[in-house]
Chains A and B, each alone.
Chain A
Amino acid sequence: MRKVLMGNHALSYGAKVSRAQVISAYPITPQTEVVELLSKMCASGELKAKFIKVESEHSAMAALIGASSVGVRTFTATSAQGLAHMHEMLHWAAGARTPVVMGNINRAFAPPWSVWTEQNDSLSQRDTGWMQIYAQNNQEVLDSVIQAYKVAESLDLPAMVILAAFVLSHTSETVEIPGQEKVDEFLPPYERKYKIDPDEPHAFGGLTDPDNYFELRYKIQKAMEEALEKWEEAGEEFESIFGRKYGLLETYKVSDAKSLIVSSSTIASTARNAVDRLREKGEKVGLLRIRVFRPFPAEKIRGILSSVGKAIVIDRNIGFGASGIFYQEIKAAMYNEEQKPPIFGVVTGLGGRDVSSKDIIEIYQDVIRREEPKSDIIWKGLKL
Chain B
Amino acid sequence: MLELRLHGRGGQGTVVAAKILADALCSEGKFVQAFPEYGVERRGAPVKAFLRVKDDVVYERSKIYEPDHIVVLDPTLIGFVGIADGLKKGGWIIVNTTRKVEELGFDSSFRVATVAAKEIALKYHLGSESSPIVNTAILGGVVKILKLCSLKSLLDAVREGVPRKKEENVKAAEESYKKTKV
Contacts and interface: CB of A to CB of B under 8 A. Distances in A.
A354 B58 contact: no
A132 interface: no
B63 A4 contact: no
B62 A357 contact: yes
A139 B167 CA distance: 32
A344 B41 CA distance: 38
B60 A357 contact: yes
Contacts of B36: 170
A125 interface: no
B174 interface: no
A359 B61 CA distance: 12
Interface residues of B, number: 21
A3 interface: yes
B38 A166 contact: yes
Most chain B beta carbons < 10 A, residue from A137, A165, A171, A358: A171
Contacts of B19: 4, 172
B135 to A, nearest CB: 15
A19 B38 CA distance: 32
B30 A354 contact: no
Given A3-B26, A356-B65, A273 B59 contact: yes
A174 B23 CA distance: 8
B62 A174 contact: no
B60 A356 contact: yes
A356 B34 contact: no
Contacts of B81: none
A269 interface: yes
A4 B60 contact: no
Given A2-B26, A4-B22, A4-B23, A172 B62 contact: no
Contacts of B23: 4
A242 to B, nearest CB: 15
Given A2-B26, A4-B26, A173 B59 contact: no
A176 B157 CA distance: 17
Contacts of A137: 57-58, 61
A266 interface: yes
A354 B62 CA distance: 6
A31 to B, nearest CB: 14
Contact of B26 (A115, A165, A174, A270): A174
B31 interface: yes
A96 interface: no
A171 B61 CA distance: 9
B22 A266 contact: no
A272 interface: yes
A172 B33 contact: yes
Given A137-B58, A359-B62, 6 more contacts: A167-B61, A168-B61, A172-B18, A174-B31, A352-B38, A356-B62
Q: Closest 3 interchain pairs by CB?
A: A356-B62, A166-B38, A171-B35
11 contacts: A3-B26, A4-B26, A4-B34, A115-B38, A168-B61, A171-B35, A269-B61, A354-B62, A356-B60, A357-B60, A357-B62
